[in-house]
Structure 1
Amino acid sequence: MYAVLDIETTGGKYNEEGITEIAIYKFDGHEIVDQFISLVNPERDIQPFVVNLTGINSNMLRNAPKFYEVAKRIVEITNDCIIVAHNAQFDYRILRTEFSRLGFEFERKSLCTVELSKYLIPGQASYSLGKLVRALGIPVADRHRASGDAQATVKLFKMLLDKDTEKKIIQDVVRLNPKRQLEPKHLDIIAELPAITGVYYIHNEEGEIIYIGKSNNIKKRINQHFTNSNPKSKKLQTLVAAVTYEATGSELVALLKESEEIKKNKPILNRALKRTSFTHALYSFIDKNNYINLKIDIADGRKKPITTFSNRQSGKSFITRAIEDYSLCQKLTGLYQTKSSCFNYEIKTCAGACIGKEPVEIYNKRVSSLINKNSYANKNMVIIDKGRDIDERSAILIKNGVFQGLGFFNLNYQINNLDVLESIITPMQNSRDTQHIIQSYLRRNKKVKQLIIDS
């Protein structure tokens, strides 16, 4: 659990500042579960430049509670939490100083979103909160007021959790809050999980990730892990201390994150990913009459496929639909072996490419259309799918035909060029596996939005 906070102060000499406003959002990694926002009477003068910056003046604070009146609430809402702030060293110091004046030792673990951003989102022009969130397309309101800045920090931190593909942040949190019982309370773990689409991480008592999976219903899937009697499930049931998760909204995002993070984290209970999650592929070649031929064949790493399939039957079904959708020749797609005309020509549903009757340029135009639709070679494009919330969408970026990574954006923020997209995405490795995952998903979900973008 995290306490994401922002503090506005009077300004002044080091360790003589007073708090004028504080906002704390208790954040479970997915949503805000509690909050505390209050003006505070600092019982000292506010520096003029601070008044101009925040708009908070002494008249506004005359009837505000003094720090000792809100101290108990701050202790309660931050209990068992890691404090998260943009420039956490400053906010945490101010908070500790105020408690010290009351004779109370306030100690919490802390995370700084400035430092995390420099590590997880390198190369930004500025890491000040305002400029950074603007560059990342994160909406912010009431800048330089505690509530507005704390809300922006929550959204930034949520993005940083997404970008932390090695799961260092989550593992440290689990390690700080170990389960002490010898046998994990499986029912308690399941009760806290949502029935949503996402990726889940099963941890041991040291916080280490021992298994990663994806599901369209995380609660149901974890319940299956805890009730199955196969050897892997039994071992998992013995070792599990906690389950964390990331909502993705999109099944495609979940599939890509699962593939990437298993390879990066190498959990002991995940079977090693196969080098290829597909066995067959679609290839093209030009015959002696200059017609483009298509062929389903065993996947060959030395050749560049148009698209890939989990098995031969899946590829055959694809070609059968393509023949109908694009009026292709059965013979030139490898589905009908003959030295003369194909069967469809006999029933007048093939224009005769099989016997050289249909003009090459007309037939090849239709084949090229199919190839272009099912391959993203050399394209700059973004695949837009469901997000984690109703006002959010996911974005999968393809640049020059290479998968770059994925991210999320608010519907109020327009993404229309590569610079913006490259700021919000979590970089991921391009591989034959990711290509197969993306192309297979697009074949199954034809309504998913695909945008060609400017370079």
Structure 2
Amino acid sequence: MLFERPCAIVDLETTGGHISRDRVTEVGVILIDGERVERFDMLVNPGQPIPPFIEQITGISDAMVATAPPFADIAAMLLDKLRGRLLIAHNVRFDYGFLKNEFKRLNLPFRSEVLCTVKLSRLLYPQHFKHSLDSIIARHGIVQAERHRALADADALYQFLQQAIAEHGQAEVEAQAAVLMAAPAAPPGIDPEVVEQLPDVPGVYSFYGDDGQALYVGRSDNLRRRVLAHFGTEPRPHKDVRIGEPIKRIEWRETVGDFGAQLQELQLIRALQPLHNLRGRLSQELCSLQLTPLDSGFLTPRIVLASEVDFSRLDTLFGLFRSQKEAKKALAELCAGNGLCQTCLALEKRGARKGACSAFALGRCKGACIGREDAASHNLRLQQALARLKLQSWPYPGVVAVRETDPVSGQWQEHLFERWCYLGSRSEEAAVPQGTPTFDADTYKLLAAFLRKPLPDAELRVL
């Protein structure tokens, strides 16, 4: 006997790891009712190509599933076998998520209590570091006919559970399983089904309050894990945001990769102005510094606003600041750290007697204010000090695209830019994103960082 209730040990093979885009190629199930054990497996036609990478791992090819039934043809039978059972799988969110999505496409509701054998292994065998199925098979000496086939992997889990009960006792295994099966907490007023639907994929999410006010926008490479962390069911990240207001609605958008998630996060923060996102509350008085020559020959930094000039078309700007106050503070620090003149940089008004600036008396100015340093020397030091703040010029003749590609499914999404302005995203070559390009400091920094160090599974295309 495994547990004091009907169980189903399930393993799926799929075309990839994305529960929304990919499809099931094989189902393996072991049904357990007390001492009665029933096994069955079947290939499934996914209705889409199996990537070579997946075929190499599983051995399941397009030819093998060509004459297999589609999931729709086996759905009723499978649902009847699984209904009312505890669903057990290794990394159960994967198998359960795929099953729910396959049934959902057919308008067949499916919910089940689930038990993850990865987490169960961690609780029962904390002395071991690895808990993958390969590690468990090796650790427990499990004999398996073939790896990465659905029924064989399900049978490996069955053997593992039998050994765990023999070593720890039925009561201990069931007690640890009960801990893991505790329902994930959700805020009052949030439908538990919404929590169940959270996918284990990259994307951006948003929380809303009673009056529809956006409370917080965040992103993650795993939406489900990150969202649940806010409610205490997953480890909370360091310096996580504390949200005091009641959360009444949760929304999310899936992305192909992390760059798209970061980009969507910036767009949503800008559009929604969430209460708990610092960037959403900051002044939008975007400004920069531009050098202007004076009649005296000295160059002086002038604060220019993005609302007055097109930052995307200038290559003579230094730094991006969210307010004039922030720009003046940065300029003052630059002046003090490089022995520059306060009056030449317009940080201090020149008196009627045209004496030395206050920094000269402290030994922080070389005397440009009283003629002891010529304009050429001061200008050179000013330009050298500003060099690290210089905005990067647009290095391309026109539009570029950051293309992210799912390494398994091959699905891609492109994010288009011109002169640092975000134009929109697309998933088809012919699609033309619509929108008015505007220069945004955070988008500039995101794209500039990508150009310096591209992210995995993403590439830049010059269009």
TM-score bracket, shorter-length normalisation: 0.3 to 0.5
**TM-score w.r.t. structure 1 length?**
0.41
